[in-house]
Structures are given as C-alpha cells and as structure tokens.
Amino acid sequence: MAGQDRGPVEFVVDETGGTVVMIDGHPQSYVDVDDPALLVFEYVQFLAAVVDALPEGAVAATHVGGAGLTLPRYVAHTRPGSPQIVLEPADAVTQAVRQALPLPRGHRIRVRPVDGRSGLRQLADDSADLVVVDAYAAGRVPAELTSTQWFTDVARVLRPGGLLAMNTADEPNRRHLARLHAGIALVLPHTAAIATSEVRKGRRFGNTVVVASAQPLPLTAITRRVAMTAFSATLLHGPSLAKALGSAQPFTDTDAETSPEPPGVEGWRVR
C-alpha cells in the first residue's frame, strides 16, 4: 500500500502542550498524551462520535492507518480494556510516535507494520465491532482503500451490527466521495455521512466521515453525539444522502483512484 516510504515525521508542539504530528508536510494527528479525550481535528471528533454510539463496554476495534494513534488512545481511554489492532505500514512513523508520544499504561493497542489490504486479509471473520479507515499518503486516501473489493473484506471482518467509519476527503463536487460511497453501500447497505456544514454544502474541500453497517445504524445516538462536537456539522442518511451525492459507479480494483489532492497547508494552525 502507498505510504510505506513516507517522508520524515515532525512533531509540532502548540501553546497548550498538545502535539501535531506532521507527515509528508501534512497534519496527520493531534495528540495530548495527558488528555486522550481532547480531539482537535473535526473528522476525529466525528469518528469518536461513532465510537461513542456503540454499545457500552470494551469494543474490538481495527484501525487502518495509525499516525499519532489519536483515536486508539481515545478508545483506550473511554472504553478501557478494548482490544485494538492498528494496521500502519510505516514502521518508522510508529516508532517515532511511540518515542515522542508514549502510549498509556495498560493499553491493548497492537500496531502491525503492514498495509491495510494485506493486514485486513489476515484478520478473522466477524472479529471487529468497529473498523476505522483513516489512512493517508501525501494527504490522499490510497486508491486500494476505495474499491468495492476492499469494502467487501471490511464487511467480512465486521461482526453482525459492527460499524465501518471511514474518513475521506474530496473536492466540493464530491464525485470521489460519491463513487466511494457507492462501493460501500453495495456490501454495507445502511450508510450515513458526517461533515461540517461548509463541506456538506460543497463550499470547500474537506473531510467526510462515512459510517456503514450491514444492519441499521444507531442514528439517534450518532446524531446526538455529533451535535456535541465543537463544529457545526450534520449527519445525512437515506434519501437525503442519496440526493446529496447523486448516482455514481463504485470503484473497483481496476479503476480505483486516490482521493483528490488537498489544498496547501502553508500557514496551517491547530487553533
């Protein structure tokens, strides 16, 4: 998978003591080792909203993409004892993060230095309550994580009622998102999408978190939790989501594409 030969990792400490993890010149994670519940990026707050909508107690989580391990830290903090697998091919990134931003004591986070496609193939059927896909190389979602074949394998790993939560990014026209969503819906027909109002209305490039399951989603719980985030955001599902995205052909392994190139981050700030 793309991303194994990533550029150098940079750690940028802000005025509050939190750390931005920069990879390939792009902000990948924000970590406060003393407060794992502090989530700064909007899409991470949306992913956390999905985590919080799961039934109480420990959850078996698989994360495709690691970087600063922000969400695994959050899961370990809010749901102690949760067994978590992180598929992160850039072992040098993981080692740098572990040294600069140590994981909490007693965690059950296992990072495997393997790409998402081959790493997921090694996992047992019905082994995860949650699969989080948040993997980027040079600021773009790798093409191999957008195809119908990939999502079919994700569905295999999910337990009945388990959730997929995928962070992706797109231009205002949302054509890449529409094709990605079409592939997801083929194998996990109950879907929803979370985005800020500006992104949802097509006013700027930005992130969308797609949520999917083989069974009906806990929409009330997710919607309530999204409303508690620090961002003006909405959750679309059913006919509203279909209308927003329009019709599209799903990606396959033969025509899959990376997500669009993001705008420059010069002058980027956390707060």
Q: What is the pLDDT of residues 202-239, one digit of tens each?
A: 899 999 999 999 999 999 999 999 999 989 999 999 99
Is residue 146, in this structure, part of any structural domain at all? yes
Q: Which domain holds residue 41?
A: 9-245
For residue 124, with 0-12 CB atoms within 10 Å meaning exposed, 13-18 middle and 19 or more buried, which class applies?
exposed
Is 116 inside any structural domain? yes
pLDDT at 2 over 50: no
Q: What is the per-residue pLDDT across 146-163, written as a single tens digit (0 to 9) for each?
A: 999 999 999 999 999 999
Name the band, by pLDDT with cuts 50, 70 and 90, for residue 138. confident
The reply to whether 3 falls in a domain is no
Give me the residues paired with residue 192 across strands: 211, 237
Residue 259 lies in a domain: no
CATH number of the domain that residue 34 is part of: 3.40.50.150
Tell whether 252 is covered by a domain: no
Question: What per-residue confidence (pLDDT) applies to 6?
Answer: 59
pTM of this structure: 0.92
Q: What is the mean pLDDT of the chain?
A: 92
> Residue 54 falls within a domain, yes or no?
yes
**Burial annotation 218-229 (CB, 10 A radius, 16+ → b, else e):** beeebbebbeeb
Evaluate whether residue 267 is within a structural domain: no
Residue 207 located in a structural domain: yes
Any residues with CB less than 8 A from the CB of 239 and at least 6 apart, and which? none
Express each pLDDT in 25-67 by its tens digit: 778 899 999 999 999 999 999 999 999 999 999 999 999 998 8
- The reported pLDDT for the residue numbered 8 is 79
The total number of structural domains in the chain stands at 1
